[in-house]
Amino acid sequence: MEEHERAEAADIVRAIREGEVDAFVVREAAEEKIYSLRSADLLYRAMVEEMKDGAVALDATGLIVYCNAYFAQMVKAERASLVKARNSRSTNSRHSRRGVASISSSWARR
């Protein structure tokens, strides 16, 4: 390997380690494939954070484990006070719009 090839390889490794590379394009057989270094959950989370709909995730006991900023705005509360808080009205309907509506209205009354 020549000096310029070693320098190029070292620069590529440095860029990957420092987070400057988002994906690789690799030729496989007759096609190019893109391999992302960022997981889809990061992109999905960014989308949920920025959307103009309230989003909330509850565990099986009704504990709020996540909410986006818009949800906190809807219920007029700080996100920090919502996460890890228990919502007693979330039991059987926590996966439905009605369940989220009941969470919103119960938090709004606090």
- Report field, pTM of the whole predicted structure over 0.85: no
Alpha carbons 37 and 83: distance in angstroms, whole number: 29
Q: What's at 10, amino acid-wise?
A: A
- Tell me if 87 sits within 8 A of 93, measured CB to CB: no
pLDDT confidence of residue 110: 55
Give per-residue pLDDT as tens, 38-89.
Answer: 766 777 788 888 889 999 888 888 888 889 999 999 999 898 888 887 665 4
The percentage of the chain sitting over the pLDDT mark of 90, rounded to a whole number, equals 7
pLDDT confidence of residue 45: 80
Please indicate whether residue 33 or residue 104 has the higher confidence score (pLDDT): 33
Please, is 57 exposed, middle or buried when counting C-beta atoms within 10 Å of its C-beta (0-12, 13-18, 19+)?
middle
Using DSSP bridges, classify how beta strands 31-36 and 64-67 pair: parallel, antiparallel or unpaired: unpaired
Average pLDDT, stretch 81-101?
57
Q: Where are the domains of the chain?
A: 3-36, 40-108
Topology (CATH) of 40-108: Beta-Lactamase (3.30.450)
3-state SS assignment for residue 91? coil
Q: Which residues contact 25 (CB under 8 A, 6 or more apart)?
A: 32, 33, 34, 35
Q: Which residues contact 102 (CB under 8 A, 6 or more apart)?
A: 89, 90, 93
